[in-house]
């Protein structure tokens, strides 16, 4: 009973704090940086942690494989939205969701190993980044409405709680895979789209760069969870992810576009 209460408290406190921090940093340094930041496993990382607390290390290790596969589906999401951004946010978002599902569902049913999946994910992300159109920053960025930040915190926290509650029914791979749906990135992208398709694409290009650290996190987590225990595995995976994220920052700054889509 105490463990369940502790887990719920962590879900209600840690997740919204992480999301709020990323949102504020993104507002300070621009759309591409905002997308790059949410490439970190800010939602699926806490989901994996709570799955390990609630269901055990073995279940969470299986979910890590599902999350890693989900990174490929996120790449499909970005490509679909980016190439249809000129047609409006509604059309682009609908197509992106369909693309995510079209890639995610077969991957969820496939028999996947961590060692075989890891190189495939990194290649897929590199290809997606190369195929993405160029984006641009808005000429006059408008301040977000007051409800924006609280809404992001509430939605993301609800997602974490809902996925972990449904985990016993969904199974480990489906839990990890659904946790990777880019809900937070979708919110950022649609909001950026209000200033034009260029800023929306810029968010998604940043997201694709950030997904390299996401993939690194789950490769390390899946490899370590059943070997070194919960705390050491998450610490090691976090260090690896932050190292990859830091390395990608230089590339983000060097390739930040200036022309409009």
Q: From 67, 97, 71, 75, select the one nearest 176 (Cα to Cα).
A: 67
- pLDDT tens per residue across span 139-183: 555 666 777 778 778 877 887 777 777 767 777 666 666 667 887
Query: Residue 2: what pLDDT?
Result: 38
Among 58-67, 174-183, 198-207, 227-236, whose mean pLDDT is lowest?
174-183
Mean pLDDT within 115-139: 83
Query: Residue 1: what pLDDT?
Result: 46
- What DSSP designation does 146 have? T
Q: Averaging pLDDT over each range in 57-66, 179-188, 207-216, 247-256, which range is the top one?
A: 207-216
- pLDDT tens per residue across span 86-117: 999 999 999 999 999 899 888 877 777 777 88
In whole angstroms, what is the distance from residue 243 CA to residue 257 CA? 24
Among 37-46, 76-85, 243-252, whose mean pLDDT is lowest?
37-46
Confidence of residue 224 (pLDDT cuts 50, 70, 90): confident
Confidence of residue 14 (pLDDT cuts 50, 70, 90): confident
Residue located via tokens 């709020």: 20
Asked if 38 and 205 touch (Cβ cutoff 8 Å), the reply is: no
- For 40, the 3-state DSSP assignment is coil
φ and ψ of 10, to 5 deg? -65, -40
In whole angstroms, what is the distance from residue 137 CA to residue 49 CA? 35
Confidence of residue 259 (pLDDT cuts 50, 70, 90): very low
Query: Residue 81: what pLDDT?
Result: 96
In whole angstroms, what is the distance from residue 25 CA to residue 34 CA? 7
- What DSSP designation does 132 have? S
**Those residues with Cβ within 8 angstroms of residue 168's Cβ, 6 or more apart along the chain or in another chain:** 55
């Amino acid at each position: 009973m105490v463990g369940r209460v502790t887990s719920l408290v962590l879900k209600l406190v840690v997740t919204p704090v992480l999301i709020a921090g990323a949102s504020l940093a993104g507002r300070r340094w621009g759309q591409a940086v905002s997308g790059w930041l949410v490439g970190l496993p800010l939602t699926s990382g806490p989901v994996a942690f709570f799955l390990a607390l609630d269901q055990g290390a073995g279940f969470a290790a299986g979910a890590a494989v599902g999350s890693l596969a989900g990174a490929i589906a996120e790449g499909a999401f970005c490509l679909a939205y980016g190439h249809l951004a000129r047609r409006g946010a509604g059309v682009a978002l609908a197509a992106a969701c369909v693309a995510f599902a079209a890639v995610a569902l077969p991957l969820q049913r496939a028999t996947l190993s961590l060692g075989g999946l890891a190189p495939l994910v990194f290649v897929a992300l590199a290809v997606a980044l190369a195929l993405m159109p160029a984006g641009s920053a808005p000429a006059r960025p408008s301040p977000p409405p007051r409800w924006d930040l609280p809404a992001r915190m509430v939605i993301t926290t609800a997602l974490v709680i809902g996925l972990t509650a449904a985990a016993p029914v969904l199974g480990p791979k489906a839990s990890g895979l659904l946790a990777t749906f880019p809900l937070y990135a979708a919110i950022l992208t649609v909001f950026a789209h209000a200033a034009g398709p260029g800023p929306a694409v810029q968010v998604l290009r940043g997201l694709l760069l950030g997904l390299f650290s996401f993939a690194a996190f789950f490769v390390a987590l899946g490899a370590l969870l059943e070997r070194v225990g919960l705390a050491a595995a998450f610490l090691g995976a976090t260090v690896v992810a932050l190292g990859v994220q830091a390395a990608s920052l230089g590339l983000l700054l060097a390739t930040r576009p200036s022309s409009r889509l």
